[in-house]
Amino acid sequence: MSVAALHKVDLKPKDYKSEVSVVWCPGCGYHGILNSIYRALSELGVDYSNLMAISGIGCSSRTPYFIKSYKMHTLHGRAGPVATGAQLARPDLAVLVTGGDGDGYSIGGGHMPHMARKNVNLTYVLYDNGIYGLTKGQYSPTSRPELKAYTTPYGGPDEPLNPLLYMLTYGATYVAQGFAGKPQICAELIKGAMEHKGFSYVHIFSQCPTYNNIDTVEFYRELVRDVPADHDTSNLGAAMELARRDAEGHAPMGLLYKIDKPTLDERLAAIVTKVGGHAGYDINKIIDLARP
């Protein structure tokens, strides 16, 4: 989403904390991600009366409770469609979606491509802990086969999906990746995402010390490598190459891709103008327009 046109305020990160206590486990990486969001909002000067925080269901999806903003805690996997509707109804507001790997890529997996390809003007921060946390530890689409979870006591039978490749393939116009153990980098990436006009996707690796005993802080520290300084963020092929990971399997950390493209609300507004405004909706006129 682009917050550039919004009314600016001068607030500290702590001013974005709501009165609701954060209930995540001690040591959970989500605390770091939440702090990155507070920091990004403060640095951007977002007025919380212009912010809609929207989520599905999961530990990560509790985030809107902890942010001072308007908010919707929706159905499991359905944050995307609700956020799309909210953004189209109020394109003057900033929309921030937060959720987990299960919410976004299992039950919500059918919605992610469409937010990307339609270039819905919102920011999606996906907290990837490689497990379903809220429901106490089931294998997710980003789990590594080595993970022994309640639903896969002998390890998993399949390979994890590659969320960055998925988002790039479907046309997301801002794609970045961070790690909860590097909150300053996450804050920068979230800030860039919120400044971007269009569908901005920030994937953040996070440890879940309670249910995922293999994707630890140490594992992620070894896994991630900074995006090279000379990477061209407008080059889709180069971004995909980074997303595919290097020969040693390292995952890129930083901004992979950013391009400008008309957003869904802009394209719809152009159609409304073409038919003469909402009052001008006339089925015969629309049929005329559709004639070759």
60 binding ligand TPP? (CB under 6 A): yes
The least CB distance from residue 205 to ligand TPP, in Å, is: 12
Point out which span in 33-41, 94-102, 216-224, 244-252 binds ligand TPP (CB under 6 A).
Answer: 94-102
- C-beta of 23: minimal distance to ligand TPP in Å? 12
Does position 168 interact with ligand TPP (CB under 6 A)? The reply is no
Query: Is the CB of 59 or the CB of 125 nearer to ligand TPP?
Result: 59
Q: Which stretch binds ligand TPP (CB under 6 A): 113-121, 132-140, 248-256, 277-285?
A: 132-140
| Residue 32, C-beta contacts closer than 8 angstroms, at least 6 positions apart | 180, 181, 183, 186, 206
* Least distance between ligand TPP and beta carbon 268 (Å): 29
Closest CB to ligand TPP among 132 and 201? 132
Instruction: Give the nearest distance from C-beta 163 to ligand TPP in angstroms.
Output: 12
Using the minimum distance from each CB to ligand TPP, give the nearer residue, 121 or 142.
Answer: 142
Pick one of 2, 135, 152, 162: the residue that binds ligand TPP (CB under 6 A). Answer: 135
- Considering the rule CB under 6 A, would residue 76 count as an interface residue with ligand TPP? yes
Shortest approach of ligand TPP to residue 60 CB, angstroms? 3
8 A C-beta contact, residue 246 and residue 228? no
Give the interface size with ligand TPP as a residue count (CB under 6 A).
19
Bridge partners of residue 257, in order along the sequence: 175
Neighbours of 156 (CB within 10 A): 17
Helix axes 79-89 and 264-274, enclosed angle (nearest 10): 50
| Residue 101 touches ligand TPP, criterion: CB under 6 A | yes
Determine, following the binding rule CB under 6 A, whether residue 140 of this chain makes contact with ligand TPP: yes
- 103 vs 215 by CB, closer to ligand TPP: 103
Whether 153 contacts 34, CB under 8 Å: no
Where does this chain touch ligand TPP (CB under 6 A) — which range of 42-50, 125-133, 179-187, 189-197?
125-133
Using an 8 Å Cβ cutoff, are 208 and 27 in contact? no
For residue 215, state whether it binds ligand TPP (rule: CB under 6 A).
Answer: no
Is 59 near ligand TPP (CB under 6 A)? yes
Dmax over Cα atoms in the chain, in whole Å? Answer: 63
Q: Rule CB under 6 A: is residue 129 a binding residue for ligand TPP?
A: yes
Site for ligand TPP in 39-58 (CB under 6 A): 57-58
Q: Which stretch binds ligand TPP (CB under 6 A): 34-42, 97-105, 152-160, 226-234?
A: 97-105
Query: CA nearest 131: which of 101, 105, 159, 160?
Result: 101
Residues within the interface to ligand TPP (CB under 6 A): 57-60, 76, 99-103, 107, 127, 129, 131-135, 140
